[in-house]
Amino acid sequence: MTVQFTAPTLQTDRLILRAPQLSDFEAVAAFYASPRSSFVGGPISAELAWRSLAQEAGHWVLRGFGRWTVVEKATQKPVGIVGLWLPEGFPENELGWDLFDGATGKGYATEAGKAARNFAYNTLGWSTVISLIADGNDASRGVAKRLGATHDGAFTHERFGSMQIWRHPAAEACA
C-alpha cells in the first residue's frame, strides 16, 4: 500500500492555500529567476525551479505535511508558496513563506502563515514551530515579527548560508 498524501485546501479571508500543481510552474520559475529568490537559494534555472516545484509536491508524501501554493482569491493567481517544511538536515519543523513578485506589502505572508501555523498546531498537533530567515532578509523578518515569533538562535543552511531561527508562539498562545 502506498499512501499518497495530498495537501488539504485551506481558506483565509483573501487567500486559498492548495496543493502545488503543474500549472504553478510559470509563476514558480519566474520567482526563482528573479532577485527575490536570492534569500532562498536563487536565482536558479527553469530546470531547477521545476524540480523545486516537484519537491514541494513530494514533501507532502514523504512527511505528511508540506507547503501550499497560495492563490489570491480576487485574481485566482498564485502569489506565493507558504507552509510547513522539514527536508533532510533542518533543525526542526519550519514554517516558511515565499511571496512572488507583486504580492508583497499586502499582508499575504502573514495571513497565509497564520493559516499554515494553525494547521500545524490544531490539525497536526505540533507544539512548536520555527521559521528560518536568511541574514539580511528584512522583509521576511518583519513577517516573523508580525506573526509574534522571536529570535531564537542561528542555523547554517547548506545552500542558503547563515540564517536566523525565529520561534513562533507556542500552540496554546495561538489558540
Partner 1 sequence: MTPPVLYTERLKLRGLRPSDTEAFLTYFQSERAEHTGGPMTAKAAWRHLAANVGHWSLRGFGMFAATRRDSDDIIGIFGHWFPHGWAEREIGYVLFNAADEGQGLASEAVKACRKHAFDTLGWDTAVSYIAAENTASIRLAERVGAVRDDAAAQPDTAYEVVIFRHEAAR
21 lines the binding site for partner 1 (CB under 8 A): yes
* Binder among 58, 102, 136, 161 for partner 1 (CB under 8 A): 58
Give the β-pairing of 77-85 and 67-72: antiparallel
59 lines the binding site for partner 1 (CB under 8 A): yes
CB of 83 to partner 1, least distance (A): 14
CB of 15 to partner 1, least distance (A): 21
Closest CA to 163 of 39, 77, 76, 44: 39
71 Cβ contact partners less than 8 Å away, ≥ 6 residues apart: 15, 16, 17, 18, 77, 78, 79
Tell me how far apart the alpha carbons of residues 6 and 61 are, in angstroms, rounded to a whole number. 7
Tell me how far apart the alpha carbons of residues 92 and 51 are, in angstroms, rounded to a whole number. 23
- Interacting span for partner 1 (CB under 8 A) from 1-9, 91-99, 133-141, 162-170: 1-9
4 lines the binding site for partner 1 (CB under 8 A): yes
Tell me how far apart the alpha carbons of residues 112 and 109 are, in angstroms, rounded to a whole number. 5
Q: How many residues bind partner 1 (CB under 8 A)?
A: 30
Tell me how far apart the alpha carbons of residues 161 and 134 are, in angstroms, rounded to a whole number. 7
In the Cβ-directed half-sphere of 140, how many Cα atoms lie within 13 Å? 24
Q: Are 101 and 145 in contact, with CB atoms under 8 Å apart?
A: no
55 lines the binding site for partner 1 (CB under 8 A): yes
155 lines the binding site for partner 1 (CB under 8 A): no
Binding to partner 1 (CB under 8 A): which residues in 31-50?
Answer: 45-47, 49-50
* Binder among 11, 38, 73, 87 for partner 1 (CB under 8 A): 87
Q: Which is closer to partner 1, CB of 69 or CB of 114?
A: 69
Q: Which is closer to partner 1, CB of 50 or CB of 106?
A: 50
Q: What is the binding site for partner 1 (CB under 8 A)?
A: 2-4, 19-22, 25, 29, 45-47, 49-59, 61-63, 87-89, 158
